[in-house]
Amino acid sequence: MQYPLQGVKVLDLSRVLAGPYCGQLLADMGADVLKVESPEGDENRGWGDRTADGLSCNFSSVNRGKRSVVMNFKAPGAKEALAQLVRESDVVIESFLPESSKRLGITFEALKEIKPDIILCSITGYGSRGPMRDKPGYDLMMQAFSSVMLGTGTEDGEPVRCGVSFIDMSTGLIAYGGILTALHSRGVNGGCHVEVSLLRTAISILGYQAVNWLQTGRLPQRQGSGVMHLVPYQAFKCRDGYILSGATNDLAWRRFSTALGRPELGVDPRFATNDDRLQNRAELIALVSAIFETNDAAYWVEKFEENRVAISPLNTLDQVLTHDQLKENDILLSLAESGQEPKSFIGAPFTLNKETLFSQRLVPHLGADNDEILRAHMQLSDEQIERLTGLREQA
């Protein structure tokens, strides 16, 4: 299958997770993505464990498939060099604070002067307007600000961080969708400024909880592994581990009771409807929990699947990443440089005609493509390259 974004050129000026993940998805679909980093490099290069070739696993998770050049935007000649790269690009991704973007000349108005049909995707923490526009935003900070942390954890416990950086990664997906929308309409509308923020993403993901408060005024309560509007639907401790199961409707509850070996519970007037079960949540959960603890997780998985009741073991990361279901759906991919051991990565979160497309480029070391881009392509002199890539502060 031909890569759908083949021929599209992307200038990735972003850092950390959201913007780089968006750029990686574009690269997987065939776009030529050039990552421009400061001489210090994207700070994500210094986070987390290291791969065998010395790269950060955090950085490697969102920068596969790109080329890397170093550029000090404060250096003499940087403005002209950046303008040349913009003229050759279809898309620019940036994640500077709004005031920094303005100071550096990386605004939609400025880039349109260079290339009228440019698509600029700006990623911020709190949006481009309002009193918090120039406040840095990170995933964990946004989990706190957006109420996610106060809604996560057990009822009588402390607020808990979601175990993955889901706001950052979701923002990258939304940025990807916004860029594709702008590319699709480019022939009619010309250039476009796509704006996404961690805040907008977080509020969108609140979904039914936000609408529930907007329409009823009811605040969500921490439910541990469960949800506020369905019961039972949570993790249960078994003799040797945990499973997660639940009843999403009253018919499913009757099947749940049968699988549990207590079919009479399915028609017990205390629990017959979801409203009944919500009213008697504590009593029901105590009763069901005691039954689950009488046997192993594998036993309950078999019983519940026989009765067509949703159930899942609580897998560790190594268990899920080695599961046959991932292999059958080509969710992981393997890449290798010549003569090197192959490296495993996570592929794009969708397929096209049942095919998982991905870039053949591995994760770039900082400035790995300086020579190819700055010297051979842009034909800059050694002195110009030294000024652009140097760490020293420029006037």
Three-state DSSP class for residue 160: coil
Give the separation between CA 209 and CA 187, rounded to whole angstroms. Answer: 39
Q: Verify whether residue 296 is a known catalytic residue.
A: no
Choose the catalytic residue: 12, 28, 139, 168. Answer: 168
CA distances from 327 to 57, 158, 333 (A): 21, 37, 9
Q: Is the dihedral of CA 181, 186, 187, 190 positive or negative?
A: positive
The closest of 390, 362, 393, 394 to 54, measured between CA atoms, is 362
CA distances from 91 to 14, 51, 117 (A): 12, 30, 9
One-letter amino acid of 134: D
The closest of 146, 125, 124, 122 to 137, measured between CA atoms, is 125
Three-state DSSP class for residue 294: coil
Instruction: Give, for 320, the enclosing helix (H) or strand (E).
Output: helix 317-321
Q: Is the dihedral of CA 330, 332, 337, 340 positive or negative?
A: negative
* Beta strand pairing call for 119-124 and 91-94: parallel
DSSP one-letter string for 261-291: T-GGGGG-TTTSSHHHHHHTHHHHHHHHHHH
The residues annotated with a catalytic role in the active site are 168
